[in-house]
Amino acid sequence: MEQTAVSDLKRTPLHTRHLAHGARMAPFGGWDMPVEYTGIVEEHLAVRTRAGLFDVSHMGQIEVAGDRALEAVQHLCSNDASRLKIGQAQYSALTTPTGCFVDDLLVFAPPHAADRLWNAIIDAGRPSGLIPVGLGARDTLRLEAAMRLYGNDIDETTSVLEADLGWVIAWQKPAFNGRDALAAQKERGVDRKLVGLEMLDRAIARHGYDVLSQNGKVGAITSGTQTPFLKKAIAMAYVRADTATEGTVVEVDVRGRRTRAQVVPLPFYKRPKN
């Protein structure tokens, strides 16, 4: 990746807050972002057991306005935006004509945020143990919840069905970008599928590592880490459809060492319902 000088990096409106909290900053997609404040493990556990505050203002937003805004959104995205009420958000895929991802995004009707709000939330949340959370823990948290990361788990070569995100496809919509390709793929079945893996041997599978069966390579890891909350090494990988069944044992090539992993259901972590 190209190195960007720190001075060229973009700053979010909360940049001075991050410095005040003593965050360790790093370049991320052209932005100077907080990687961690008190440590990934502590921040991860805070979110799972108490509360955490994230700066996500670096994430791209596109405003679609006008009389035919809904029509345009309905054509560009796979999910059904007509079901949204003001202030609600919906996870959706911005699809290519082949049913792959241009990006994933939240479609919503927008409110506004500010620097003052950050301080107010930090102060109000302190008694209940709320702390600011950086990109590092954001990554381990989203992986535990099996949220796909664009550029790692999904991109312009992976279809919505291969990513096992069929639930964001509103089949009742007569047309949207990629609908025909996805319908055809649904009919004949996918060749590969995104699955969850739990390591059986002591090792951490990382992005790009090969997934193997007795007959050779069957896929590749897209994201992997040791999760602080579940205390296991977990990963997501695209594997051949015939090795995607839960319980299947595969091997992961961890820097030349063959380590065993098992296909498990996604997500790895689900918030208990109260």
Q: What is the full DSSP assignment across 83-124?
A: GPPTT-EEEEEEE-TTSBEEEEEEEE------HHHHHHHHHH
Give yes or no for residue 203 binding another protein (CB under 8 A). yes
CB neighbour class for 78 (10 Å; exposed up to 12, middle 13-18, buried from 19): buried
Indicate the helix (H) or strand (E) that contains 184.
Answer: helix 179-188
Q: Nearer to another protein by C-beta: 177 or 225?
A: 225
Q: Does 47 bind another protein (CB under 8 A)?
A: no
What is the SS3 assignment for 49?
helix
**CA–CA separation, 29 and 34 (whole Å):** 12
The answer to the question of residue 200 lying near another protein (CB under 8 A) is no
Exactly one of 83, 116, 202, 271 binds another protein (CB under 8 A); which one?
202
Which one of 9, 28, 39, 155 is in contact with another protein (CB under 8 A)?
39
- Does residue 206 interact with another protein by CB under 8 A? yes
Identify the residue among 148, 228, 243, 251 touching another protein (CB under 8 A): 228
Selected from 41, 84, 121, 122, the binder of another protein by CB under 8 A is 41
Q: Which amino acid is at 151?
A: G
The minimum distance between CB 64 and another protein, in angstroms, equals 36
237 lies in the binding site for another protein (CB under 8 A): no
Q: Does 36 engage in binding with another protein (CB under 8 A)?
A: yes
How far, in Å, CA of 245 to CA of 239, rounded? 10
The answer to whether the beta carbons of residues 50 and 128 sit under 8 Å apart is yes
Selected binder of another protein within 136, 178, 196, 219 (CB under 8 A) = 136
Q: Which residues bind another protein (CB under 8 A)?
A: 35-36, 39-41, 136, 139-140, 202-204, 206, 225-226, 228, 233, 255
